[in-house]
Structure 1
Amino acid sequence: MPRSTPTTPTTRPDATPEVAKGVATGLIITVLGLCGTLVSLQQTLVLPLLPDFPEILDTTTDNASWLITITLLTGAVGTPIVSRLADMFGKRLMLLVCLGSVIVGSALGAVSETLVPVIIARGLTGIGTALVPVGISIMRDHLPSEKVGSGVALMSATLGIGGAVGMPVAGVIYQNFDWQMLFLVSGGFAVLMFVLVLVVVPESTVRTRGRFDYVGALLLSAALTSFLLAVSKAGSWGWFDRLTISLVILAALILAAWVPWELRQGQPLVDIRTSMRRTVLLTNAASILIGLAMFANFLTSAQQVQMPPETGYGFGLSVIETGLVLLPQGILMVAMSPVAAWLIRIYGPRAMLMAGAITIAVGFVLRAFLHSSVLEVMIAAGISSLGTALAFAAMPTLIMRSVPITETASANGLNTLLRALGTSSASALVAALFAAMAMDDMPTVPRFEAYQLIFWIGAAAALLGALIAAFIVRPQRVAAEAEVPGQVHAAERHELKQPEAENEVVVGGVITDESDRPIRQAVVTVLQPDGRHVDWGRTDNMGRYTLALPQSGRYLVVVSADGWGPMSGLEDLGDADLDQIRMNRRLLLTGHITDDGEPLGDVMLSLIRHSGEYVATKHADADGGYEIGLPPPGRYVLTVVDHATGRTRSRAVQIGSTSSTLDLDIVTGIPRTRPRPTETTPVR
């Protein structure tokens, strides 16, 4: 592996004695956790004012609902974009950008008196949603391994306490001050967080090189906007309205174009191949269902206790009283965060994701039967909140364990986006069922049967999420020679992708063939000499890759690519980038073409996929021999054409991951396949 141009390795900026101390670590966790609280406050701070906004802004109820819809849209669209930019240009930088957007939006809302400027203000504050996945990725980069789990759990839990605190705070402010004071409080909190992030949180230099995928961002934004707009406005437009259906179809068509585009990009906005890895795919699928269950629990709790006593199930609480009833749920989630982190360390994130989802389902089942007092509602809803704390703490851990270190922000951003899709679906579901199952004498009040149906749907969604999580692959743990009480096991460190040392080193290189042509989508994996996993990366269209190492030292490097023999070697990494790795053993499909046993030369061979896609066309030599670069494993059809006589012969071919020899007779059509043994070429 040549190193023609040594470069200075990039080290973590937090590699200082101060960061190693608990005080600095605690400050980072606290600041990032407060950022999560700010995000949830943006969602709930205006909810108590929603019935009054039509009068305040001199508009219709439908128009006023855009104050909620626009935040949902900008948060969903901005999260994957900001998360990808964080991986490319710096995570603290994008935290400050998000906080700046919240500050500008809050300032605009505080001075606005008409609908459009307030909608724009709410849209700007919605971009703050990306604070959560970016903050979680910062924790992975800067916290000691034993603190990452508790930090992630706390940040996930702050979403609950922020939502619970937002309603009573908003009610008190609205009763005693002007409505614009809500934006001033939100903006002041954001200014405080901006200063704290600037002072406390160090910048991470674990970054992905390359260019931003503008087309992918545009397509994904259009698809998300179309889908979320249809879901959020279906209640007022109608689920079978022409506009609703058109937007859903438009979203599907755009996604159908977006996925192939992302697969062709060397540096995509969302790495589809990584997202399709079993652990990532199943975690994200479970996230949608658990997000739906979580928000259904929050919405029904808040509305049930506010319903008038005449309904037979309501308690007639005010907005402030409702917030105080919900507050214990948020406090419970925060108190549960260190317990969740400890359980994840002991039993693993997969088991805790399942346990959390099952606990949510138990809470919903209890809610269907316990509803005679406010205390019963609080207890049943609190059990679901406990499950939410467990599940939300486990999801980022599973994601970070399964993606390259340099892509943790974008991967967590996608997970956050999918959770948001679940919450928006829950909001639409609750609104639709409440409207369809209203009381005869009170058309705006749902019957309790609507609540019970939502409880059973929420329980079913949570259980389905647990079932999906059961299929997540269990990590293979590396046996430790000795265990020291209180230390993080080597396998735990591997699962969290957390460095063992403080000086994290970022290295990169390029993968080419022997003619120096880049090989795209090659996979470079780095292991410790004893076999423990460190990091992995995939090359872009220029053959470039980036890896993050815990420190300079000797590592096992393994390189693989479709159609090429794998390479490996023990390398000293960290003193310079891996300038270039040349893959020198092309895997081939070879053989001879015969005519009733006699060599048949100069015939054409065409290889296509079994599904019809073209792969390659070659010509045999004078002796009938041929070579075709081995395509990805799968089913293919090899066709021989003898233009001199007009004869053809086609045969199905099953291609594996090693070179194979296939001889074919154009008369008898009898193929003879001889697979070659697998070889591993040294890197050097």
Structure 2
Amino acid sequence: MTHTTTDQPDRKAGGAVVPVLAFAGIVVAVMQTLLVPVIKDLPQLLDTAPSNATWVLTSTLLSGAVATPIMGRLGDLYGKRRMLILSLAVMVVGALVSALTSQLLTMIVGRTLQGFAMGAIPLGIGLMRDMLPREKLGSAMALMSSSIGVGGGLALPAAALVAQHTNWHALFYGAAGLGVLSIVLTLLVVPESPMRAEGSFDLLGAIGLSTGLVLLLLPITKGSDWGWSSGTTLGMFAASLVVLVLWGLYELRVQAPLVDLRTTARREVLLTNLASIMVGVSFYVVSLVLPQLLQLPKATGYGLGQSMVVAGLCVAPLGLTMMFTAPVYARLSARYGPKTTLIIGMLIIAIGYGGGLGLMDAAWQTIVTSVVLGAGIGLAYSSLPALIVGAVPASETGAANGLNTLMRSIGTSVSSAVIGMVLANTANNVGGVEIPTMHGFHVSFLIATGAVAVGLLLAIFLPKAGRPAQHTQLRVSSEEDAVLERAEELLRGFRGRVLDAGGTPVARAKVTLIDHRGRQAGAAVSDEDGSYAVAVPAQGAYVLAAKASGHGPLASSATHSGEERAVELDLSLPGETVSA
């Protein structure tokens, strides 16, 4: 079945696409923080040990980490909109499974299925990149990237309200409803991207990544129960290392890898991805610690004795502040660049956690901590896609952003596992119930502060983004434009204009770069003035294929020497095609 209406998405559709895709990102975030309001009660609700109960959260984050590259690759092959809907559908099934059980293993299965929705983030960014005009892409990507924090913060008071006044299983019915709503909106508003990658799906790579991450996170959560020096714990860590190394070697050899690890060879990409892990760690710590501190009874001597709903409302500013930092990010980034914005975000996060160590004595103090952390995390999250897009050729932005989202997911997964382990091991047993201690909360904040310090160091060593800008002769109106110009025009490749038979520029024409093996090596959509730019991965012979609604297709042979320059090549489309 062909989607004739998707080759030329109009501007009205483009304008509606952004909020719908951002809503899908918010729904994803809800899955991650859905059970945070009841986390202290999970061992009793599921009749299991605290270290086992943490897997109800960790399993969602882990499957999200694995689903990110899987759904991204499937989206490139079979359609991003189609895979976005599939991700949300799997999430709805998982929510219904969890809604109908109180058994630990069945609950973990349901939560694992819910984690597959994480693929919506890179799929949404990919759809935006394929359809939106360049001047809107930077801010749209920042909004999509920040939606996970926005949704996470807003979900806390809503989930707390539901859990406090109804059976906690109602949380999952609500999540399923949000998933269905997101599917309906996507079907109604979001057109399918016409762009497709060549190749096949890397099943062995998906299995290898899943196995390696499980072998890494399982001993982190169970190490204290098994013994950190036990054969089981050390054996799993060793097995994880072996599996991930073998997986990496395999991914470098396979023609169509699940994760294009070669993109990490660039210093900019490597440092940005390592910083992303640290941002992921810092984001989840506050979501795990503050709700528990707020809900603990005052009789403990340090608990703040607040209801589930009040606790959710105190942490909600985390997400709200992230939402309001999106326009602030756009202005800061336009003036100083995404590297500086990331450093500022990291500094604010460090201040939030450092100050938070001494602000645990009243509910209003947790609100202050939430606001500061939300501002920092919002700036940091918004900077990451711009840094990635600016560091790689246009033909690699999909794979690079997918890998970046994977790094953030690994950060949140490790954070969930480590902080869950810390709180479980420092808890006091009171009447058979494990009560988290202030010592555990302090250690958790110190871990987050350490992660941010490492992330800040990595961000400082990022190369200056403005280095290639002197080569451009094109006017750029903002930093987001500059980043995209670099990725698409300043690196080696082809550029020019798409024209009709009479020499008039053709806007929104799809230009596809095909290598000598017949595989897609890059793609672009022409601007209002007909201009296009597409980067080449290496020197050699290529075919530039162009098509647009109302015009015949064109295939033009071209050769690139591999030099760091753009080859000028105008593409003239034949006259109108015969309409059906």
User: Which bin holds the TM-score, normalised by the shorter protein?
Assistant: 0.7 to 0.9
Q: Partner of 1:267: helix, strand, or coil? A: coil
Q: Is the 8 A contact 2:36 2:291 kept in 1?
A: no
Structure 2 distance, partners of 1:534, 1:482, is 12
- 1:237-256 alignment to 2 at 5 Å? 237-256=226-245
Specify the SS of the correspondent of 1:507: strand
The alpha-carbon deviation at position 240 of structure 1 amounts to 3.4
> Following TM superposition, by how much is the alpha carbon of 1:337 offset from its aligned partner in structure 2, in angstroms?
1.2
Correspondence list, 1:370-381, <5 A: 370-381=359-370
Deviation at residue 473 of structure 1 after TM alignment: 2.3
Matched, 1:20 2:11: yes
SS at 1:369 equivalent? coil
Calculate the TM-score normalised by the size of structure 1. Answer: 0.70
Partner of 1:491: 482
Q: List gaps (5 residues or longer) in structure 1.
A: 1-9, 512-517, 577-684
1:184 aligns with 2:189: no
Per the alignment, residue 469 of structure 2 pairs with 477
Instruction: Work out the CA distance in 2 between the residues paired with 1:240 and 1:547.
Output: 58
Q: Give deviations 1:599-619, integer Å, cap 9, x for gaps.
A: xxxxxxxxxxxxxxxxxxxxx
Residue 402 of structure 1 deviates from its aligned partner by 2.8
1:515 maps to which residue? none
Q: CA deviation at 1:390?
A: 0.5
- Is residue 456 of structure 2 the alignment partner of residue 466 of structure 1? yes
CA distance in 1, matches of 2:437, 2:47: 32
- Contact 1:79 1:417 survives alignment (8 Å): yes
Q: Following superposition of structure 1 onto structure 2, how do residues 285-304 of structure 1 map, counting pairs within 5 Å? A: 285-304=274-293
Match of 2:64 in 1: 75
Q: Structure 2 matches for 1:411-426, cutoff 5 A?
A: 411-426=400-415
Post-superposition shift, 1:35? 0.9
In structure 2, how many angstroms separate the alpha carbons of the residues matched to 1:538 and 1:482?
Answer: 23
The structure that is helix-richer by fraction is 2
More strand by share: 1
1:558: Cα distance to partner?
A: 3.0
Equivalence for 1:627: none
Q: Distance in 2 between matches of 1:315 and 1:56?
A: 22
CA distance in 2, matches of 1:276, 1:101: 34
Deviates more, 1:493-502 or 1:235-244: 493-502
Give the direction of change, closer, same or farther, for the CA distance of 1:261–1:65 in structure 2 (3 Å limit): same
1:143 matched residue in structure 2 = 132
Residues 489, 464 of structure 1: alpha-carbon distance in 2 compared, 3 angstrom cutoff? closer
- Aligned counterpart for 2:29 among listed residues 35, 40, 52: 40
Tell me if structure 2 keeps the 8 A contact 1:534–1:549: no
The verdict on how the C-alpha distance between 1:14 and 1:492 changes in structure 2, with shifts beyond 3 A counting, is farther
Query: Equivalent residue for 2:389?
Result: 400
**Closer, same or farther in 2 for the Cα pair 1:441/1:93, shift >3 Å?**
closer
- Find the partner of 1:558 among 554, 557, 560: 560
Who is 1:590 aligned against? none
Task: Give SS of 1:211's match.
Answer: coil
Cα gap change, 1:67 to 1:545, in 2 (>3 Å)? farther
* Deviations 1:601-640, CA, capped at 9 Å, x for gaps: xxxxxxxxxxxxxxxxxxxxxxxxxxxxxxxxxxxxxxxx
Determine the structure 1 residue equivalent to 2:535.
536
Specify the alignment match of 2:203 in structure 1: 214
- Report whether the alignment pairs 1:503 with 2:508: yes
Which residue does the alignment assign to 1:274? 263
CA contact (8 A) 1:505 1:550 kept: yes
Question: Alignment partner of 2:533: what SS?
Answer: strand
Q: How does 1:473-622 map to 2 (within 5 A)?
A: 473-475=463-465, 476-478=468-470, 491-495=482-486, 502-511=507-516, 534-538=533-537, 558-560=560-562, 570-573=568-571
2-side partners of 1:320 and 1:72: how far apart? 24
- Residues 339-384 of structure 1, C-alpha deviation per residue, up to 9 Å, x if partnerless? 1123222222111111111111111222233334322232133212
Per-residue deviation, residues 398-449 of structure 1 (Å, max 9, x unmatched): 1223334344343222212211222222233333443555569899445544
Give 1:657's aligned residue: none
Q: Structure 1 residues 502, 184: closer, same or farther in 2, change over 3 A?
A: farther
The structural deviation recorded for 1:492 is 4.2
Deviation string, structure 1 residues 283-336 (Cα, Å, up to 9, x no partner): 101111121122223323223323333454431212211101011221111111
Taking the aligned partners of 1:554 and 1:346, their CA distance within structure 2 comes to 39
Structure 2 residue ranges without an equivalent (≥5): 490-494, 498-505, 549-553, 575-580
Match of 1:90 in 2: 79
Is the aligned partner of 1:168 residue 2:157? yes
Maintained 8 Å contact 1:259/1:272? yes
Structure 2 letter corresponding to 1:360: I
* Matched length: 545
The residue type equivalent to 1:211 in the other structure is: S
